[in-house]
Amino acid sequence: MDKIIKEQIEFKIDEIDKLFFEYDLIFKKLESETPDLFDMTILGSVLHSFYNGLENIFDIIAKNIDGSVPTGNKSHQELLHQMASENSMRDEIIDEQLYLKLREYATFRHFYRHAYSFQLNWEKMKPLVENIHAVWEETKKSLGKFIYI
């Protein structure tokens, strides 16, 4: 893999790690409290930023390795699917199980972009928030396998 592409991906990984570091306090708060609207708004922003960061990484891979980035109404869905598929340039980046998990974050990101913050529902957000660190670690492991081949 080209050194510049690898460095771009590593930079984006570091940015997502920084996202979790900067918002660690809100995750710690969840250990003892149910979030109110203010907290859910913050958590919605974190979920949104998390998936945006992942999509930025996937975009780097699609553009620089695959040679094609999906366009059009379903481009976000297609990009995620592209990362779960092998092609002539590379193996799959994420497996089917991780794909299904990340699809949930993509769905939330889409909702968040088009909703008002008062429409956030903790019961719907809760599994995403509770699993975000584990999903990120799993995704980092998959990306690590890819960039350190």
- pLDDT tens column, 59-108: 999 999 999 999 999 999 999 999 999 999 999 999 999 999 999 999 99
Report all structural domains of the chain as residue ranges with CATH numbers, in order of start: 3-147 (1.20.120)
User: What pLDDT was estimated at residue 107?
Assistant: 97
User: What pLDDT was estimated at residue 82?
Assistant: 98
What predicted TM-score, i.e. pTM, was given to this entire model? Answer: 0.95
How far apart are alpha carbons 29 and 139 in whole angstroms?
A: 25
How far apart are alpha carbons 29 and 67 in whole angstroms?
A: 43
